Amino acid sequence: MSLQPKSPSHSVSGHFPPVIKKSHFWNRLRQRVSMLYHYLLGHYRLHKMLYGFALSQALYVTAKLGVADHLSQGSKTCEELAASLSVNVNGLCHLMRLLSKTGIVSVDKKGHYKLTALGSRLRSDMPNSLRGTVLSIAEIYPAWGNLLYSLQTGKVGFDKTFQMGLYDYLSQNAEANTHFNQCMEETTREWIIPSLALCDLSNIKTVVDVGGNTGMLTTMILKKYPHLETILYDQAHVVNEAEKILEAAQVANRCQVIGGDFFESIPAGGDLYIISRVLLNWDDVHALQILKNCHAAMGPSAKLLIMDFVLPNQGASAYELISSLQILILSGSRLMRTEEEYYDMLFKAGFHAPHLIKTGGMISFIEAAVE
């Protein structure tokens, strides 16, 4: 059957009576009232939440395609962008319209898209780039499909999704590993470094950065405190990438890089042991083992500084609760730890006098003494 009009009288320009009779004003008003009605009934709010994943994927695709890098030299139409990115033009035009609603780009009347300050954080060449974070979180995202599984079984949703644990997955997937490391670097820069001013490191000589990834925190500490030396300790395939970061910052001569397994042992010789965003990845048995190994490596006057998410007993933000659920998916039966839960583990590992230092940011500090 043809979908074409059968005769001129059925065509849009013919004498077919208009279906919409109401005036523009009344029609618009009716639409607004209807939208408000549905909003109040929860329809739109639920749909917006339900399609949160779509926004997340749109952000991922934008970062992955390098849209922000392509717009860094000036505004472009979506057709020009689609040609330079070799992607479906209609799809990309829709994506760009969506991005303009979220504040990633702005669009002028001629259809030229321009990066906003927010969108420029997706550029790969900016000192405040968050592109690696977007890519890494989105690469872990399929594991959220097993939130129900983790809730019902207490098992690791990530493992069910990827058929292996997070760190095995990263060691076997070079690109995902690079993005994960970038995510760690970017969030160290944003969350941890600004809070370092709360610590008095004047009496410290050597810092051991346990699970220090590619050395972003170590590098920042060495740059900020010229009297310090550090030992960077992480898995061999991770610390391999640290040398170039340390050398670029001209601090490599004050850092000893050691590859190893913190479940086996942790290097001795530090006055301050930092464990930043490591314990959150592990259940109590494994986290306790890391703390015990740390305690065994530390001299009697050395101090421990945990830098991690600490879940408030009350008043947690939506972001903290989402992060806590992500921990459940990554580690199985456990959520983000509270202050009391950290203290409990620290006592079991042999530490004394733990106390919480609230930074006012995403990450809190917990200090503890060996004796």
Ligand X SMILES: C[S@@+](CC[C@H](N)C(=O)[O-])C[C@H]1O[C@@H](n2cnc3c(N)ncnc32)[C@H](O)[C@@H]1O
Contact residues toward ligand X (CB under 6 A) are 167, 184, 188, 211-213, 217, 234-235, 238, 261-263, 276-278, 281
Cβ-based nearer residue to ligand X, 44 or 263 = 263
Nearest approach, Cβ of residue 278 and ligand X (Å): 5
| Residue in the structure block whose two tokens are 């950290």 | 342
Nearest approach, Cβ of residue 150 and ligand X (Å): 18
Nearest approach, Cβ of residue 55 and ligand X (Å): 25
Cβ-based nearer residue to ligand X, 62 or 276 = 276
Helix residue ranges, H only, 9-88: 24-41, 43-50, 52-65, 67-71, 78-85
Rg (CA), the chain: 26
Nearest approach, Cβ of residue 23 and ligand X (Å): 60
Cβ-based nearer residue to ligand X, 51 or 263 = 263
Nearest approach, Cβ of residue 323 and ligand X (Å): 12
Cβ-based nearer residue to ligand X, 262 or 365 = 262
Contact status, residue 186 vs residue 362, Cβ threshold 8 Å = no
Number of Cβ within a 10 Å radius of residue 155: 14
What are the distances in angstroms from CA 73 to CA 67, 114, 221, 229, 312? 11, 10, 34, 41, 44
Cβ-based nearer residue to ligand X, 191 or 225 = 191
**Token pair of 242, please?**
């640290």
Helix, strand or coil, per DSSP, at residue 343: helix
Cβ-based nearer residue to ligand X, 263 or 347 = 263
**Token pair of 90, please?**
């209609």
Q: Which helix (H) or strand (E) holds 101?
A: helix 89-102
Nearest approach, Cβ of residue 330 and ligand X (Å): 10
Contact status, residue 317 vs residue 324, Cβ threshold 8 Å = no
